[in-house]
Amino acid sequence: MIKIGNITLEHPVLLAPMTGVTDLPFRRLVKRFNAGMVVSEMIASRAMILETRNSLRMASHTPEEFPMAVQLAGCEPEVMADAAKLNEDRGVQIIDINFGCPVKKVVNGEAGSALLRNEPLAFKILEATAKAVKIPVTLKMRMGWDHNSLNAPKVAKMAEECGIKMITVHGRTRCQMYKGSADWEFIRRVKEAVNLPVIANGDITTFEDVDNAISKSGADGVMIGRGSYGRPWFIGQVCHYLKTGEKIAAPPLEEQRDIVLRHYDDILSLYGTENGVRVARKHIGWYSSGLHNSSEFRFNANRSENPEEVKQLIQDFYQSSLEKSAYSH
């Protein structure tokens, strides 16, 4: 269990915020598998206070996701504070501040991991946001801008002084982007710098990774991002493993098919059929990866603009995978 201010997370396994992935349908699905906490896609704080249609959709949430965090990015303390307040008023339970995004467009706007290079501004953002709301505010960041400035422990201490309630560290620098491997041992330096829950993030895709990340970092929990692509049940498997030591298998193929179809319907109802078909493609690709005839299936599913046809392709694909696995047994 992890305490974030007045909120208790039952499981120390969190879904990472991922642009274009952790929308409402995906979060809801992962939450059904017992994730301790799910986080929205990163939302630009300025877009949030302008209440753009896209930002409101990204911040939309349902009671079954509780506790869910909205992640905000920006470089203007007052705007970040206003965006946090707006989300609090809309019923969000936790605000997460992004000091981790390495993408050029975000960094060039002095937001995301660029703030690790500007500690005075980082402090103002943390302080203004934490003061603006009564709900807990958390922080997600990287180890530093590059290996010559690994200042995450210092920024974490600063965040704690500002009233931040939990810190997640992705074990890479901004300059590494997603290359190399996550340095879980470094996260221990952040853990030792603060009296807050610290979450380890980066490269956690197996049960062994979970063990290594926790033992090397001393972290209170793990945040899983790309490890959940095409297997929203993985976070649930990790929750069960940390609680019992037992490694449960992925759901059987029939159940996987039902999960995919339900997820697909959810995507269509959020985005509308035309956009929904396109949004679903990456998920369909991840779900089918490694299964029999998946490349042919992906080719056909990616070409189709017809939602009913795609649905039929999903059903046929899983049916043939089920037959193939029954035959091989």
Sign of CA dihedral 312, 316, 321, 322: positive
- The crossing angle, in degrees rounded to 10, of helices 253-271 and 307-328 is 170
**Cβ atoms 70, 43 nearer than 8 A:** yes
Count Cβ atoms within 10 A of the Cβ of residue 104 and give its class: 0-12 exposed, 13-18 middle, 19 or more buried. exposed
Q: Name the catalytic one among 75, 101, 162, 239.
A: 101
The Cα–Cα gap between 190 and 156 comes to 7
- Tell me, rounded to whole angstroms, the distance of Cα 285 from its chain centroid: 19
Known catalytic residue: 101?
yes
The Cα–Cα gap between 17 and 98 comes to 10
The Cα–Cα gap between 135 and 165 comes to 10
Q: Which residues are catalytic?
A: 101
